[in-house]
């Protein structure tokens, strides 16, 4: 697994924009971008042919050093397929969930293909949420730590002037949410005239939020002769239309089936009377978590707040995260969850989408997901890469229809369990 430095994590949480290898930034303090101090290179050895390899894929010496310092020894399946294709300049449609290593799947070729002798932004990544934009920025920053290129994140919820300062210094790669990127384009603080690589990350989520017109306006400002790639967990008809309109003869790369679940997730459902839900959950968390970390999903912001209060009354250390909170509150909560001080986090869908929380042992659908895509996205929060995880779904008397739908799709992978609350009954 990646050997995340605490300074990077702090940077991830707090930084609104930063450039490659941002050192620790605190929420209250947003420093102007500055040159990264030179970093000791790990010892990587060339193969007998003189080249450097990531598994069977040849990479540059700079990239080999970055991958080694991140602890990435072998490419994941999506990386194995995407990296050579994207390095060759071919458009890619990647159907892969978060947790499969898809960020590096497009990040590695993008970093490799940046030409340090050329001016202007060359790579552009569009992401649905500020959290994902920051996360992608950080991953690309780590991947490019020895190439010393500049990557800037532009997203709403942060003062635009900080981003303008960073962009003025010259960015090679920009990662942003569509709204804020359009804002920069209309102010002419960002030019996409030299972009030759575009990635639409979590494209299904961007469509759900209604970003399609914004995405198309942004794409119109990039040169036609560019490489365009799209990543999405699901591939419905609207997505195919975008692919048709904006990609050229793409290679389709699919890791897992349309609604295939992450390999090592144990899926369990508990039937529970609606009136018993809080008590049932509380008992479960107190007896079954075994030192693990749980991420719980609720439908609404108010639902998150209420559940947090009820669990806190039962002396469970829990916090919530949702879009109604300020960025610094969200960052604070995410930080304590990531570094393990906080073991139980209740989130709305939108807040949790795309977050990389590596060691979650339990995902709990306290509220039923609305559809299969949501179910798959949510349970993709656990068992990331090679780790084991359990996805639990609470099913009340009102949720039977959705339970049938999940069962139809995942079949025998979903087991029935009994909550401790009902065990003695």
> Looking at 95-103, 111-119, 120-128, 183-191, which segment touches ligand AMP (CB under 6 A)?
95-103
User: 284: closest CA among 379, 392, 404, 178?
Assistant: 392
Contact 307, 298 (CB under 8 A): yes
Query: Per CB under 6 A, does 98 bind ligand AMP?
Result: yes
* Environment class of 210 (CB within 10 Å of its CB; exposed 0-12, middle 13-18, buried 19+): exposed
Task: Report the residue from 101, 178, 280, 369 that binds ligand AMP according to the rule CB under 6 A.
Answer: 101
Enter the DSSP assignment of 411.
G
Of the two residues 82 and 182, which places its CB atom closer to ligand AMP in the complex? Answer: 82
Report the alpha-carbon distance of residue 98 to residue 119 in Å, rounded. Answer: 32
Residue linked to tokens 């929060």: 381
Dist CA 174 CA 110 (whole Å)? 11
**Options 96-104, 167-175, 192-200, 293-301: segment touching ligand AMP (CB under 6 A):** 96-104
Residues touching ligand AMP: how many (CB under 6 A)?
Answer: 17
| Pair of tokens at residue 21 | 């290898």
Least Å from the CB of residue 384 to ligand AMP: 5
69 touching ligand AMP, by CB under 6 A: no
Return the closest-CA partner of residue 79 out of 354, 151, 67.
67
277 binds ligand AMP (CB under 6 A): no
- For ligand AMP, the binding residues in 339-358 under the rule CB under 6 A are 356, 358
Task: Please select the residue that binds ligand AMP; options are 12, 103, 261, 282, rule is CB under 6 A.
Answer: 103
CB of 169 to ligand AMP, least distance (A): 27
Six token digits for residue 314: 């039962």
Q: Which is nearer to ligand AMP, 99 or 128 (CB)?
A: 99
Stretch that binds ligand AMP, among 33-41, 74-82, 151-159, 214-222 (CB under 6 A): 74-82
Place of tokens 């639990």: 392
Q: Which of 405, 374, 341, 351 is nearest to 391 (CA)?
A: 374
Residue from 52, 72, 284, 394 in contact with ligand AMP (CB under 6 A):
72
User: Which residue, 350, 375, 351, is CA-closest to 363?
Assistant: 375
Stretch that binds ligand AMP, among 71-79, 158-166, 222-230, 317-325 (CB under 6 A): 71-79
Q: How far is the CB of 378 from ligand AMP (least distance, A)?
A: 14
CB of 358 to ligand AMP, least distance (A): 5
Cα(136)–Cα(205) distance, integer angstroms? 15
User: Which residues lie below 8 Å from residue 291, measured CB to CB, with a gap of 6+?
Assistant: 343
Q: Is 144 in the site for ligand AMP (CB under 6 A)?
A: no
Considering the complex, what minimum distance in angstroms separates the CB of residue 237 from ligand AMP?
25
Q: CB nearer to ligand AMP: give 204 or 271.
A: 204
Nearest-angstrom CA–CA distance, 138 and 143 = 9
Spatial CB neighbours of 136, under 8 Å, sequence gap ≥ 6: 103, 107, 125, 127, 153, 175, 201
Structure tokens at 413: 């992978």
Question: In the numeric block, which tokens belong to residue 93?
Answer: 């449609």
Of 260 and 305, nearer to ligand AMP (C-beta) is 260
Q: Taking Cα atoms as reference points, which of 265, 299, 283 lies closest to residue 387?
A: 265
Is 97 or 166 the residue whose CB approaches ligand AMP more closely?
Answer: 97
Determine how many CB atoms are found less than 10 A away from the CB of residue 381.
Answer: 27
**Binding to ligand AMP by residue 2, rule CB under 6 A?**
yes
Helix axis angle, 130-143 to 327-338, nearest 10°: 50
**327 binds ligand AMP per the rule CB under 6 A:** no
| 369 near ligand AMP, judged by CB under 6 A | no
Q: How far is the CB of 138 from ligand AMP (least distance, A)?
A: 10
3-state secondary structure of 320: strand
Pair of tokens at residue 54: 């990531």
Answer yes or no whether residue 137 interacts with ligand AMP by CB under 6 A. no
Q: Is 100 in the site for ligand AMP (CB under 6 A)?
A: yes
Scanning 32-40, 98-106, 260-268, 332-340 for contacts with ligand AMP by CB under 6 A, the matching segment is 98-106
Does the protein bind ligand AMP through residue 128 (CB under 6 A)? no
Site for ligand AMP (CB under 6 A): which residue of 99, 123, 280, 369? Answer: 99
Query: What is the binding site for ligand AMP (CB under 6 A)?
Result: 1-2, 72, 75-76, 79, 98-104, 356, 358, 384-385
């Amino acid at each position: 697994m990646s050997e995340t430095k605490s300074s990077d994590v702090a940077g991830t949480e707090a930084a609104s924009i930063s450039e490659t290898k941002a050192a620790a930034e605190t929420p209250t303090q947003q420093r102007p971008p500055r040159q990264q101090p030179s970093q000791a290179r790990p010892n990587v050895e060339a193969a007998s042919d003189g080249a450097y390899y990531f598994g069977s894929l040849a990479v540059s010496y700079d990239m080999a050093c970055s991958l080694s310092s991140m602890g990435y020894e072998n490419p994941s399946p999506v990386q194995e397929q995407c990296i050579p294709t994207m390095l060759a300049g071919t458009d890619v449609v990647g159907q892969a969930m978060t947790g499969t290593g898809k960020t590096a799947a497009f990040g590695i070729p993008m970093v490799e293909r940046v030409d340090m002798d050329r001016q202007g932004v060359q790579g552009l990544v569009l992401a649905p949420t500020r959290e994902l934009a920051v996360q992608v920025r950080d991953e690309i920053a780590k991947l490019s730590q020895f190439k010393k290129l500049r990557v800037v994140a532009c997203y709403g919820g942060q003062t635009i002037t900080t981003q303008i300062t960073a962009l003025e210094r010259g960015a090679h790669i920009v990662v942003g949410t569509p709204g804020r990127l359009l804002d920069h384009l209309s102010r002419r603080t960002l030019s996409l005239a030299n972009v030759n690589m575009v990635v639409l990350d979590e494209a299904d989520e961007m469509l759900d939020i209604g970003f399609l017109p914004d995405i198309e306006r942004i794409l119109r400002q990039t040169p036609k002769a560019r490489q365009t790639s799209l990543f999405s967990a699901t591939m419905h008809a609207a997505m195919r239309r975008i692919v048709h309109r904006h990609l050229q003869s793409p290679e389709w790369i699919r890791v897992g089936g349309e609604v295939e679940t992450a390999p090592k997730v144990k899926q369990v459902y508990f039937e529970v009377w609606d009136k018993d839900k809080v008590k049932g959950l509380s008992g479960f968390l107190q007896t079954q978590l075994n030192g693990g970390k749980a991420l719980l999903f609720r439908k609404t912001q108010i639902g998150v707040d209420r559940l947090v209060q009820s669990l806190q009354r039962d002396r469970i250390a829990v916090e919530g995260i949702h879009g109604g909170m300020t960025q610094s509150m969200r960052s604070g909560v995410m930080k304590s969850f990531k570094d393990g001080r906080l073991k139980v986090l209740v989130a709305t869908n939108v807040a949790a989408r795309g977050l990389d929380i590596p060691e979650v042992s339990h995902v709990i659908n306290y509220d039923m997901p609305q559809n299969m895509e949501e179910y798959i996205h949510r349970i993709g929060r656990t068992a990331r890469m090679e780790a084991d995880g359990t996805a639990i779904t609470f099913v009340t008397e009102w949720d039977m229809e959705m339970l049938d739908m999940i069962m139809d799709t995942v079949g025998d992978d979903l087991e029935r369990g009994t909550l401790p609350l009902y065990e003695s009954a």
